Amino acid sequence: MKDTEILRAVAAAVDTAAEYGLGADDAAVLHNSNRIAVRLRPSGMLARVAPLAHRLDFEVEIARRLAGTGSSVAGLDPRAEPRVHVRDGFAVTLWTYYEPTAVPENHPPAAYADALARLHAGLRRINLAAPHFTDRVADALRVVEDPAVSPDLGAAERALLTDTLHGISRAILDRGTRQQLLHGEPHPGNLLATADGPLFIDLETACRGPVEFDLAHAPKDVAAHYPGADSGLLADCRILSLALAVSWRWDRDDQLPDGRRRGREWLAQLQADLDRREHAAGDGH
């Protein structure tokens, strides 16, 4: 979110909490991307604020349905209505704030895998229409195939990303693996270490696909603890998730801090991963 919008967005969060008689004398922005996360004290609440175009209602509905299922997911604040609040041109949702007990990198792999498996179990109980992971691939292709949207992307890199997005997503689909509702991006930054155990946040990216698509976003040592993961499918999902992340970095409107430098680094990593995949296929593995 642009600096010029942040003050208004924070005010929208404070005013929304006030609707429920919850004080917010101290409002601190904890995260800023396409939306902001604001810690409100002394109410002990976390507000997420985004432009109205964002689908916060989808995230709220998933969290509402997961409540009481034992899923490892951060919950909506029970003192407020479980809905999207509209104020001053922003969408505001109100969540429980969990005091972190460790940094994300310190999640033990077994605990990470268990949290993800429990989340997947809860998501299997939800009958909710959601985008397919191939819809995300289509969005990325719209970025890399249009020079007007990704003007700084070179021709060779554009071809590499286009071929990878098409080819790897097709290889994943051709495996015919069971698919279900997923978190979409359960990377370490979306997993909180709390007194209640590891809890996932940011469900706005939920989509349908094989569980390996989610597992590809976790550190590599997590997979050994996740029951029944297909190693070949997981390898392809890791390549696809990296190709998606690279594609967003070349969008002219990308707001990730230092995103272009990361995009160049990840492009080199993507090429190396593809070379290893081709070498393994040539060896018959």
Same domain for 198 and 81: no
101 in a domain, yes or no? no
Domain finish residue from 40, 70, 96: 96
Same domain for 271 and 230: yes
Classify 189 as helix, strand or coil. Answer: helix
102 in a domain, yes or no? no
**101 or 216, higher pLDDT:** 216
Between the alpha carbon of residue 71 and those of residues 86, 103, 142, the distances in Å are 28, 21, 34
Same domain for 69 and 139: no
Question: pLDDT tens across 80-93, in order?
Answer: 999 999 999 999 99
CATH number at residue 21: 3.30.200.20
- Type of residue numbered 168: I
pLDDT band at 32 (very low <50, low <70, confident <90, very high): confident
The pLDDT of residue 196 is 87
Same domain for 217 and 190: yes
Same domain for 74 and 51: yes
Entry pTM: 0.91
The pLDDT of residue 103 is 65
236 in a domain, yes or no? yes
- What is the rounded distance in angstroms from the CA atom of residue 55 to the CA atom of residue 84? 9
What would the mean pLDDT of 110-136 be, rounded to a whole number? 96
Same domain for 246 and 122: yes
**145 or 258, higher pLDDT:** 145
Question: pLDDT tens across 172-195, in order?
Answer: 999 999 999 999 999 999 999 998
Same domain for 89 and 15: yes
Domain finish residue from 49, 66, 96: 96
103 in a domain, yes or no? no
The pLDDT of residue 281 is 77
- What is the rounded distance in angstroms from the CA atom of residue 3 to the CA atom of residue 14? 17
Per mean pLDDT, which range of 111-115, 210-214, 275-279 is the poorest? 275-279
% of the chain exceeding 90 in pLDDT: 81
pLDDT band at 284 (very low <50, low <70, confident <90, very high): low
Same domain for 148 and 268: yes
Same domain for 207 and 271: yes
In the predicted model, is pLDDT for residue 43 greater than 80?
yes
The pLDDT of residue 1 is 80
104 in a domain, yes or no? no
Same domain for 130 and 253: yes
Between the alpha carbon of residue 97 and those of residues 30, 59, 64, 202, the distances in Å are 11, 16, 16, 13
What would the mean pLDDT of 36-61 be, rounded to a whole number? 92
Same domain for 216 and 158: yes
157 in a domain, yes or no? yes
Same domain for 120 and 224: yes
Question: pLDDT tens across 126-174, in order?
Answer: 989 999 999 999 999 999 999 999 999 999 999 999 999 999 999 999 9
- Angle in degrees, CA 266, 234, 172, rounded to 5: 95
In the predicted model, is pLDDT for residue 285 greater than 60?
no
The pLDDT of residue 4 is 84
185 in a domain, yes or no? yes
Structural domain harbouring 27:
3-96
Q: How many domains in the chain?
A: 2
CATH number at residue 157: 3.90.1200.10
- The mean predicted confidence, pLDDT, of the chain is 93
Domain finish residue from 41, 65, 96: 96
